[in-house]
Amino acid sequence: MASTDIASPSAAAPASDAPAPATDAPAPATTHARPRVFSGMQPTAALHLGNYLGALKHWVAGQVERDNVFCVVDLHALTIPEAVDPADLRAKSRAVAALYLAAGIDPEASVVFVQSHVPEHAEASWLLGCVTPLGWLQRMTQFKSKTHGRESIGSGLLTYPALMAADILLHDTDEVPVGEDQMQHVELTRDLAIRFHHLFGEVFVLPRAVIPTAGARVMGFDEPTAKMSKSTASERPGHAVLLLDPPDVVGKTIMSAVTDSARETRFEHASPGVRNLLTVWQALDGRPMAALEAEVEGKGYGDLKKRVVEVVVAALAPIQARYAELLNDPAELDALLARGAERARETAANTLARMRAAVGVGP
């Protein structure tokens, strides 16, 4: 083979002596009536207001235009095995799935499932892992930061992007909505698909990362210059409002949000903390910012905060009620997840069959 530099993702472009595409593999589904969107969340931490206003709320709204697949990626949660509590992992996987549904994801319109319930993900991950150059994995920023200072490093932490690539590619995904931190993994997925095609023939739909622009960007209540984050929320109680927080906790967090010593409530002129409160209020209230500004003009921040508490508590109430219903009826949740896994499996099994045929394994 010519000097294909597998150390560089950009070198994944087909070389002239690439093997001819396998002819017995069925053609990939390259066109969908509606774009297929795949999103995954780890069942490691509780979802917060930033996840809701920045992502979930828009996924709910986008269910009609897009074909959505929502996955709870429990296999990804095994990459630091020392931190795994099996009973807790199982419970959290169900809880995150229930929160998706409680927030308004319609299990008929969208596919909601738990990654490990569809074993095709693990097999596809092996097939993709075998075409993944070690250098590509070692270069991942998240791998470097997650392994930094760690004594014992499981190989799952390194091969994690191959599993994420399997998630995305198995579902013929067109778009992957991600934050900046996951961009690199989606690019790697694309490079891996191209490399696989180069080695074994066309099998996959090529995905692309989309950074959601529609959602409100919610900042930490205790640090309004940093985006609200799950990991910070687990360390600092005043950082985030969690979707399952009871009203008194919501009140405490928002009433103690960082503001400033002035009385400026016009968004344009306000400090980051006040702007964050206005952003959350506006995202949930729906009226134009000017109307909200007029309502609190000259009133001080305590007043603004009270209104924010009110809208947040009102927005969370139905989500929490539906969540409680789902958890109180384990049979219904199990049935929804079983149905989700079954639907997810239809596409996943089809893609895996193309992969197996392409590489020459399987009965």
306 is catalytic: no
From the list 4-12, 39-47, 196-204, 249-257, the region that binds ligand TRP by CB under 6 A is 39-47
230 is catalytic: yes
Rounded Cα distance between 39 and 56, Å, is 10
Which of 57, 92, 230, 305 is an active site residue? 230
CB of 71 to ligand TRP, least distance (A): 7
CB of 236 to ligand TRP, least distance (A): 20
Contact in structure between 220 and 240 (CB atoms under 8 Å): yes
343-349 LR contacts (CB < 8 Å, sep 24+): 343/111, 343/113, 344/69, 344/71, 344/111, 344/113, 344/117, 344/118, 344/171, 345/118, 345/120, 347/170, 347/171, 347/172, 348/118, 348/120, 348/121, 348/124, 348/170, 348/171, 349/120
193 versus 277: smaller Cβ distance to ligand TRP:
193
18 versus 78: smaller Cβ distance to ligand TRP:
78
Interaction between residue 74 and ligand TRP (CB under 6 A) = no
Amino acid at 157: L
184 versus 253: smaller Cβ distance to ligand TRP:
184
Interaction between residue 40 and ligand TRP (CB under 6 A) = yes
182 versus 350: smaller Cβ distance to ligand TRP:
182
Rounded Cα distance between 63 and 70, Å, is 11
227 is catalytic: yes
From the list 33-41, 45-53, 221-229, 231-239, the region that binds ligand TRP by CB under 6 A is 33-41
Interaction between residue 76 and ligand TRP (CB under 6 A) = yes
Task: Write the Ramachandran bin of 52: left for phi over 0, alpha for psi from -120 to 50, otherwise beta.
Answer: alpha
Interaction between residue 184 and ligand TRP (CB under 6 A) = no
Q: Identify the residue among 25, 38, 205, 283 touching ligand TRP (CB under 6 A).
A: 38
42 versus 234: smaller Cβ distance to ligand TRP:
42
Interaction between residue 207 and ligand TRP (CB under 6 A) = no
3-state secondary structure of 137: helix
Q: Take residue 132 and report the two structure tokens written for it.
A: 């993944």
Interaction between residue 69 and ligand TRP (CB under 6 A) = no
Give me the half-sphere count of Cα atoms (radius 13 Å) on the Cβ side of residue 154: 12
Strands (E), 137-220: 175-177, 208-210
Q: Identify the residue among 4, 63, 147, 182 touching ligand TRP (CB under 6 A).
A: 182
Contact in structure between 112 and 105 (CB atoms under 8 Å): yes
List of residues contacting ligand TRP (CB under 6 A): 38-40, 42, 73, 76, 164, 167-168, 176, 178, 182, 185
